[in-house]
Structure 1
Amino acid sequence: MAENTTQVENNKVDVKKLSFERAMEELESIVKRLEDGKVPLEESVAIYERGEALKRRCEELLRQAEARVDKITTDASGQATATEPLDVQ
């Protein structure tokens, strides 16, 4: 019952405001509930839709993190000389 209460509370939180870790935690909880197969059909559809939104949020945050990663350039001796933005395309 506590898990259902937590799930209801989670559904009230705007996905766009969640950190990567929080979104992933909630997504994992949804996957577990769906895999258990004990959720009624209508609720399954609702939490599946929430899971899709969470997945998109996690992907968005990962893309943003990748865009901030710098590629280190080195000289012939292997010494770091500079950094440049990582090409994530």
Structure 2
Amino acid sequence: MASEKKSSNSDIEAMSYEQARDELVKVVTELEQGSVPLEASLQLWERGEALASHCETWLSGARKKLDAALLKKQGE
């Protein structure tokens, strides 16, 4: 089952921040509507968690780059 989850979410690694964020919004909207069966809801939730984690990774990387650029500029 763990390898199933990994393979079903393997496409997330190749997504840009914007792609992952947009899909996460769709997942949340679908879950909030409440019309999805329980098993499908759990799969959507797991995908949403993976998408959110991917977005956090992108944002963390962007923050590190900005911090490095600011330090460099302050050092000039």
- TM normalised by structure 2 equals 0.77
TM-score, length-scaled by structure 1: 0.67
**Which structure 2 residue ranges, 5 or more long, are not aligned?**
1-7
Point out where structure 1 has 5 or more consecutive residues left out of the alignment: 1-10, 73-81, 85-89
Write the mapping of 1:32-71 to structure 2, written as runs, cut at 5 A: 32-69=29-66, 70-71=69-70
AA paired with 1:71?
Answer: L
Structure possessing the higher relative contact order (Cα contacts under 8 Å, 6 or more residues apart): 2
Deviation at 1:12, TM superposition (A): 6.7
Q: Detail structure 1 runs of 4+ shifted over 3 Å in the superposition.
A: none
Residue 13 of structure 1: how far off its partner (Å): 6.0
Give the paired residue count.
66
The residue identity in structure 2 corresponding to 1:83 is K
Match of 2:22 in 1: 25
Q: Which amino acid aligns with 2:49?
A: E
**Using the alignment, how far apart are the partners of 1:27 and 1:62 within structure 2?**
15
- CA-to-partner distance for each residue in 1:21-65, whole Å, 9 max, x for gaps? 000000000000000000010000001000000000000000000
> Quick one: percent identity of the two aligned structures?
38
Who wins on radius of gyration, i.e. which is larger?
1
Residue of structure 2 in register with 1:79 after alignment = none
